[in-house]
Amino acid sequence: MQVEKNFEPTVVAFCCNWCSYAGADLSGNNRIQYPANVKIIRIPCSCRLNPMFILRAFQRGADGVILCGCHPGDCHYTSGNYFARRRMTLLFSMLSFLGIEKERCRVEWVSAAEGAKFAATMNDFVATITRLGENKKLEDLRCKK
């Protein structure tokens, strides 16, 4: 009998260059572990995240997508994360409206000092996605191996 392999979700984390990417680095500096399922993509600001990228990630096989940016009020570009917040709120609401699991996408504000929070957030997010299981509602069957 074949033993089914444990489900290892693919998680894409978009991190703003100034706060969250630095926060992720700090988590590394302090050797705080979080699952290898998380792969980080660096973007200049959370407002650079086009909803298209999130959909693209799901299409290509991501099981969860998380956006990390500076805390509201701390944006390097002053207002970027405020725009990102509105955009993501509406996008997530729409995805939920379409019946997509709402926990699959998340936004977290992580500052450059919050290495521990970054790791904790990722641990929690990966756990959530693992519990949700494979992304089947927004997958593109062609991209499955």
Partner 1 sequence: MQEVIKQKAIELLSSGKADRVLGWKEGEFFYDITPAVFTDVKEIEEKFVYNAFCGPNFSKYLVAESRKDGKIAVFLKPCDTYSFQQLLKEHRILRDKVYAVGIPCDGMVDIEKIRQKKIKGITGVTEAGEVLQIDTIYGKKEVAKKDVLAERCENCKSKKHVVYDELIGEEGDVLDSHRFDLVEKIEAMSEEERFAFWQNELSRCIRCNACRNVCPACTCEKCVFDNPASGIDQKAAADSFEEKMFHIIRAFHVAGRCTDCGECSRVCPQNIPLHLLNRKFIKDINEFYGEYQAGADMETRAPLTDYQTDDCEPSVILTKGDQ
Partner 2 sequence: MQRIGVFVCWCGSNIAATVDVKKVAETLGKEPCVVYYENYQYMCSEEGQNKIINAIHEHKLSGIVICSCSPRMHEATFRRTAQKAGLNPYMVEIANIREQCSWIHKDMATATEKAIILGRAAIAKVHLNTPLQAGESPVVKRALVIGGGIAGIQTALDIADAGFEVDIVEKKPTIGGKMSQIDKTFPTLDCSACILTPKMVDVAQNEKIHIYSYSEVAAVKGFVGNFDVTIKRKARYVKEELCTGCGACTEKCPQKKVPNDFNLGLDNKHAIYIPFAQAVPKVATIDPDYCMMLKTGKCGVCSKVCAAGAIDYKQQDELVQQQYGAIVVATGYNPIDLKNYDEFAYSQSPDVVTSLEFERLTNAAGPTGGVLLRPSDRQHPHTIVFVQCVGSRESGEGCGKTYCSKICCMYTAKHAMLTREKYPDTEVYVFYIDVRTPGKNFDEFYRRAVEEYGVHYIKGMVGKVSPENGKLMVQASDLLDNKQLKIEADLVVLAAAIEPDPSARPLATMLTTQMDTNDFFTEAHPKLRPVESATAGIFLSGCCQGPKDIPETVSQASACAAKVIGLLAKDKLLGNPCVAESNELMCNGCSSCEKVCPYGAISYVDKEFKMPNRTIAVRRVANVNPAVCQGCGACTVACPSGAMDLKGFSNSQIMAEVDAICK
Partner 3 sequence: MKKISLEKLNALFAEIAETKALYLPVDTETGAQYQKWEEGKTLSSALNTVRSAKDFFFPQTESLVHFKVEGKKIEIMDVRDEGAPFVIFGVRGCDVKSFELLDRVFLQDPVDTYYQNRRNNAIIVSLACSEPEETCFCHSFGISAADPAGDVTAWIKDGEIIFRANTEKGEQLLAPLPLEEGGEAKAEEARSEIEAITKKLPLQNLPLEKFKAENLMDFFNDPKWASLSQSCLGCGTCTFVCPTCHCFDIRDFDTGHGVQRFRCWDSCMYRDFSQMAAANPRLSQLERFRQRFMHKLVYYPANHEGRFLCVGCGRCLSRCPISMDIVKVIKELGGERDAK
CA nearest 103: which of 54, 138, 64? 64
Tracing tokens 């630095």 back to the chain, one arrives at 22
List the interface residues with partner 3, window 35-74 (CB under 8 A). 60-61
Per-residue contact flags (x/-) with partner 3 for residues 122 to 141, judged by CB under 8 A: ------------------x-
Q: For residue 55, count CB atoms less than 10 angstroms from its CB and return exposed for 0-12, middle for 13-18, buried for 19 or more.
A: middle
**3-class SS of residue 54:** helix
Scanning the structure block, which residue is given the tokens 């050797």? 31
Q: What residues line the site for partner 2 (CB under 8 A)?
A: 10, 12, 17, 21-22, 24-25, 27-29, 31-34, 36, 39-45, 47-53, 56-57, 60-62, 73-74, 76-80, 83, 87, 119, 143
Alpha carbon distance 69, 107 (integer Å): 8
- 1 contact choice in partner 2, partner 1, partner 3, none (CB below 5 to 8 Å, kind-dependent): none
- What residues between 10 and 49 interact with partner 1 by CB under 8 A? none
Contact code string over 62-91 relative to partner 1, x by CB under 8 A: ----------xx-----x--xx-xxxxxxx
- Give the β-pairing of 64-69 and 38-43: unpaired
The least CB distance from residue 6 to partner 2, in Å, is 13
